[in-house]
Amino acid sequence: MNKILIRLVIVSAIGVLSQTSRNDIPEDATMTFSELADKYGHKAEEHDVISGGGYILTLFHIPGDKHRPILLIHGAIDSADSYIMRGNTSLAIALARDKYDVWVMNYRGNRYARRHTSMDADSNQEYWDFSLTEIGYYDVPANIDYVLKKTGEDKLSVIGYSEGTTSMYLLGATRPEYNDKVKIFISLAPVCTLKNTKPLASIVIQLAPLLNVALEMINSNELMGQNSTLRALFTDVCSRKAGYEVCLINGLFLLTGADAKEIEPEFFPVVVGHFPAGTSRKNINHLVQISLSGKFRDYDYGMMKNMEKYRRFTPPEYDLSKVTMKVALIAAKNDKLSTIKDVEWLREQLPNVVDYTVMKSNVFNHVDYIWGRTAHKTLFPHIFRLLNKYNK
Ligand SMILES: *[C@@H]1O[C@H](CO)[C@@H](O)[C@H](O)[C@H]1NC(C)=O
Ligand SMILES: *[C@@H]1O[C@H](CO)[C@@H](O)[C@H](O)[C@H]1NC(C)=O
């Protein structure tokens, strides 16, 4: 197919879609984390955490029992919102109701963490020069320290999802003193090497380096930022009636595994209102590199620049044997990104896995952990059991 034909197809597809009627956008789609917390009965505070390099990150806090602090870490291109967008049946609200002291962080680059002490994210392209490396080495520990300082505790519990787990393994491996600050790390959809991803996810990952080069050429360093043109187009198409079929059933589910019953058509516009929340191109490229090399290691700049940066041709690997914190792994059979095979490999590398659970449902997928309609019944009880046992 030549370029003109491709463009014609895209333009007519958008044309057709924009004629289908809009869904009524539910109120929850346009609310911020704090507004949602308020609506579902809990006042949230917003704290500014200054992370390494001067990045300013919003940390949401729903106050509870100070002696039971818990930090929630979101996944790639996402934000704190995923932990609350299910409202009364979301994890943040469930924990708050159980009187946990709930802290939900944002890593650099998303809609709540796009500020900096000196750089402007819109005009300074260097702002976007970060990946998983900086998120795990600076952002996560900055938030852990902040929470411990505010609560006066010396340990906290952590729940991470997807890349929110990767950043914790990176932290435990590169700054081992943080292992002692964690009572239990509950890993939802653990992601470490992404070696055995399944189609279509695996195919997209194969193609991603090409896309990365193209984006680099046009100096497009922020991905899916809240105010970007691409995000506007995505929101417009995906929040229409046909959006459920186009963006979820024939879109996102191909990457995450399909489980239509868990994301009903009325709820999908809420997802679209909050996800994607923006990140750097380099962050996603780092995950792609890890997947393609099968190695959990630092960012690959290419041989010459690696030599300059690391004094070796390939990036150094992270040593998982140093991640000595207690870890609970939760995996799912229909997750095309965090596959059972990869999670079992991770389980063998980590020295202190205290629990390994595979979700019962055969169709539980990558996004059901955070967006699933019945996660509060199928998943949360297990999380609460783990917290009761290890959050001492
Ligand atoms: C959320 O649940 C609480 C407690 O069950 C209830 O009082 C409240 O009305 C619910 N809020 C919404 C917005 O559904
Ligand atoms: C998007 O634009 C609005 C209006 O200019 C601004 O208030 C908001 O901070 C921007 N958000 C991001 C994430 O850039």
pLDDT digits (tens, 9 = 90+) for 294-339: 999 999 999 999 999 999 999 999 999 999 999 999 999 999 999 9
The CB of 94 under 6 Å from ligand 1? The reply is no
Place of tokens 């991905």: 223
Q: What integer pLDDT is reported at residue 1 of this predicted model?
A: 41
Strand partners, 50: 56
**What is the end-to-end Cα distance of the chain in Å, rounded?**
61
Question: What's the 227 CA to ligand 2 centre distance in angstroms?
Answer: 6
Q: Is the entire prediction scored with pTM above 0.85?
A: yes
Using alpha carbons, select from 74, 68, 65, 62 the residue that is nearest to residue 102: 62
The CB of 376 under 6 Å from ligand 1? The reply is no
CATH assignment at residue 287: 3.40.50.1820
The bound ligand whose nearest atom lies closest to the alpha carbon of 232 is 2
The CB of 88 under 6 Å from ligand 1? The reply is yes
The CB of 88 under 6 Å from ligand 2? The reply is no
Question: What's the 112 CA to ligand 2 centre distance in angstroms?
Answer: 10
The CB of 27 under 6 Å from ligand 1? The reply is no
Strand partners, 240: 22
Question: What's the 263 CA to ligand 1 centre distance in angstroms?
Answer: 20
Q: What integer pLDDT is reported at residue 248 of this predicted model?
A: 95
**Averaged pLDDT for residues 267-294:** 96
Assess whether pLDDT exceeds 70 at residue 3: no
Q: Where are the alpha helices (DSSP H) in the chain?
A: 3-19, 33-39, 91-97, 132-134, 140-151, 163-174, 201-217, 229-238, 243, 253-256, 268-274, 281-293, 303-310, 340-349, 368-371, 375-378, 380-390
The CB of 40 under 6 Å from ligand 1? The reply is yes
Q: 224 CB contacts (<8 Å, ≥6 apart)?
A: 77, 230, 231, 234, 276, 277, 278, 279
Using alpha carbons, select from 295, 283, 286 the residue that is nearest to residue 320: 295
Q: Cβ-count burial of 68 within 10 angstroms (0-12 exposed, 13-18 middle, 19+ buried)? A: buried
Question: What's the 111 CA to ligand 2 centre distance in angstroms?
Answer: 8
Q: Where are the alpha helices (DSSP H) in 152-252?
A: 163-174, 201-217, 229-238, 243
42-86 pLDDT, tens digit each: 999 999 999 999 999 999 999 999 999 999 999 999 999 999 999
120-162 pLDDT, tens digit each: 999 999 999 999 999 999 999 999 999 999 999 999 999 999 9
d(CA 310, CA 296): 15
171-193 pLDDT, tens digit each: 999 999 999 999 999 999 999 98
Are 196 and 341 in contact, with CB atoms under 8 Å apart?
yes
Look at the alpha carbons of 179, 317, 76, 336 in this order and tell me if their dihedral is positive or negative.
Answer: negative
- Residues belonging to the active site: 162, 335, 366
**Averaged pLDDT for residues 289-296:** 95
Residue 202: pLDDT band (50, 70, 90) is: confident
Q: Whose CA is nearest to atom 9 of ligand 1?
A: 40
Q: What integer pLDDT is reported at residue 11 of this predicted model?
A: 56
Question: What's the 40 CA to ligand 1 centre distance in angstroms?
Answer: 6
The CB of 130 under 6 Å from ligand 1? The reply is no
Share of the chain above pLDDT 90, in %: 84
Share of the chain above pLDDT 70, in %: 94
Ligand 2 pocket mutation, candidates 120, 227, 275, criterion most atoms within 8 A of CB:
227
Q: 191 CB contacts (<8 Å, ≥6 apart)?
A: 162, 163, 165, 166, 287, 337, 338, 342
Are 311 and 109 in contact, with CB atoms under 8 Å apart?
no
Which domain covers residue 131, as residue numbers? Answer: 2-390
Ligand 2 pocket mutation, candidates 106, 226, 235, 279, criterion most atoms within 8 A of CB:
226
Q: How many domains, in total, are found in the chain?
A: 1
